[in-house]
Structure 1
Amino acid sequence: MGRLDGEQVLMRIFIGESDRWENRPLHKVLVELFRREGFAGATVLRGVAGFGAASVLHTDGLLRLSQDLPLVIEVVDNEEKIEAILPQLDDMLQGGMITLEKARVIRYSK
């Protein structure tokens, strides 16, 4: 694994906790994919509330704990690696959103 510093790309993938790919939780499949493809790292963040294109509100309120909470998967790597994986992600996501932005990496170590 090479050193990752300077200007890189931050990819955020917004999905729901109930999203699946081949009967498996999509967020787990994505993290495994990024690891297998040698990405620098990936983090899954669980939201306490949110809504998407359909404007359906998802919250972690007591009666909705087992419902579809929002998840964000963050990945930072070089632009070429991010761009190369986008077609595969497009096939896997049935909904949600992907955003890309420049990120300045100050420190990265194993």
Structure 2
Amino acid sequence: MSLPGPAVRVTVFVSEMDTRDGTPLCAEILRAARECGLAGATVSRGVEGFGRPSVLHSDRLLSFSDDLPLLITIIDAEERIQAFLEGAEHLLAGSLVVLDEVRAYRTGP
């Protein structure tokens, strides 16, 4: 990816308990992004959240949730993101996927 410039940010919402063939779904999505040659991807663990069934998941001490929300963020050029989404459709099925147009800027060497 050439920076700075226009790009697309993909945010995929999954949970810690989501798996594909016994492997954490977030790891499978990261693998697919790397194999697609994308610029990079980050998994962030949510402190608290709820989704479709409106069940609250929290990392608070008294909650003991082992199913916290995870956000996978990927930023790259639009055509590269589109190719990734088409190739990873089977991994993304059932997940909320949000696309945003962004302007990427990198500092340093």
TM range (shorter): 0.7 to 0.9
Give structure 1 stretches of 5+ with no counterpart: none
- Quote how far apart the aligned CAs of 1:109 are: 7.2
For 2:44, the equivalent position in structure 1 comes to 45
Give structure 2 stretches of 5+ with no counterpart: none
8 Å CA contact retained: 2:58, 2:65: no
- Quote how far apart the aligned CAs of 1:95 are: 3.0
For 1:10, the equivalent position in structure 2 comes to 9
Classify 1:66/1:57 alpha carbon distance in 2 versus 1 (closer, same or farther; 3 Å).
closer
Query: TM-score w.r.t. structure 1 length?
Result: 0.87
- Quote how far apart the aligned CAs of 1:47 are: 0.3
Q: How many positions carry a matched residue from both structures?
A: 109
- d(CA) in 1 for partners of 2:99 and 2:5? 16
Identity of aligned residues (%): 41
Tell me which amino acid in the other structure corresponds to 1:57. Answer: L
Superposition misfits of 4+ residues, deviation over 6 angstroms = none
